[in-house]
Amino acid sequence: MSQKIIRSGDITDDLNRLLHSLNYDGLFVLTDENTQKYCFPLVQAIPEIASAKKIIISAGDENKNVASLSAVWEFLSKNGANRKSLLINLGGGMLTDLGGFAAAAFKRGIRFVNIPTTLLGAVDAAVGGKTGVNFNGLKNEIGAFSPAIAVLIDSVFFKTLDMPNLLSGYAEMMKHALLDSPASLDKILRFDWDVIDYQQLNDLLFASVLVKEQIVEEDPTEQGIRKALNLGHTFGHAFESLSYELKHPVLHGYAVAWGMVCELYLSFVKLGFDKSILMQIIRFVKENYGVFAFGCSQYQRIYELMQHDKKNESGLINFTLLKSVGRIEINQTASLLEIDEVLDYFRKI
């Protein structure tokens, strides 16, 4: 399940070296409309990339679906891809998730390389081997565990991002810090967003990726401790799905940030998580991510969306909670009344 993670300082040189180290029969590059415009020019000087067959799909999480997946498979099939072909996924989390699943299933599996072009993609989707697409309004409902043979991470791509997309990725970094240690969390909360130091951001990113990588290596198929990585996601995915139903979609990291507030409050109620740290997180989230507005009439729908979470067992909604920063408790449950209490609390912050 291991994958090679390359901290690139020169994406052209490092990708060129990687391609020359691999034996493959046919090279394909998958981008979306945005990464084709803004990110592909940063690698097109490589002769192999320039001559590769290019697949371009529509941008946006709403296109992380079976129709886009089918379009990728159709292109691969019509253009002679075989089991020795190589697919390069150049894009954010939506694209690496979809491209990874397309590669995992095509001819029962072809190799692929992820080059994340967003902070969220680098810290979350591109690393760890989870692939998939959304289905029936549910996040990542169809997918597979299939790691890229390599992930090339270069912060040069992050300079193409606006602030909301940077913050979206940063929410996952905050999650990893909460799972790791008070020292890690302190560094994350002290980062200066008014004057962005991209080198410092890159250093924080790789510390964050290391936290995830260690957890994934211990539990690649999410039978145990890997569930820790779902902190904030049980509520967060429900918020994200609801936002799409309301026709006001929010970025994944924003939904996760709000989900972490909810699940840390649940940690406080059930496990005695430090309230002062909870308040620190609330202040950071409100200042940088704002709030997600919903009413009591939508509690039932949020609960229904949470019931579709893939971690659930025996009809119970499964949470990852914290006793304290770095002290993880997986396989926690909450009653409907407790979930209502959390939603009441969240609406008042």
Q: Which range of residues forms the domain containing residue 182?
A: 163-348
Q: Are residues 127 and 255 part of one domain?
A: no
Query: What's the CATH code of the domain at 338?
Result: 1.20.1090.10
Query: Which one of 107, 133, 160 terminates a domain?
Result: 160
Lowest mean per-residue pLDDT among 19-23, 104-108, 120-124: 120-124
Q: Are residues 146 and 65 part of one domain?
A: yes
Query: What's the CATH code of the domain at 67?
Result: 3.40.50.1970
The residue whose two tokens read 């089918």 is 70
Strand partners, 348: none
Sequential DSSP letters for 276-336:
HHHHHHHHHHHHHH------GGGHHHHHHHHTT-TT-BTTBPEEEEEEETTEEEEEEE--H
Nearest CA to 121 out of 137, 100, 141 is that of 100
Query: Which one of 112, 145, 160 terminates a domain?
Result: 160
Q: Are residues 172 and 155 part of one domain?
A: no
Helix (H) or strand (E) holding 101: helix 93-105
Planar angle of CA 94, 255, 175, nearest 5 degrees = 90
Q: Are residues 199 and 318 part of one domain?
A: yes
Work out how many domains the chain is built from and give that number: 2
Provide the pLDDT for residue 191: 96
pLDDT at 311 over 80: no
pLDDT digit string (tens) for 219-228? 988 889 999 9
Angle between helices 252-271 and 336-348 (to 10 degrees): 120
Q: Are residues 20 and 117 part of one domain?
A: yes
Q: Are residues 20 and 69 part of one domain?
A: yes
Q: Are residues 219 and 102 part of one domain?
A: no
Provide the pLDDT for residue 2: 63
Q: Are residues 136 and 52 part of one domain?
A: yes
Mean pLDDT of all residues belonging to the chain = 94
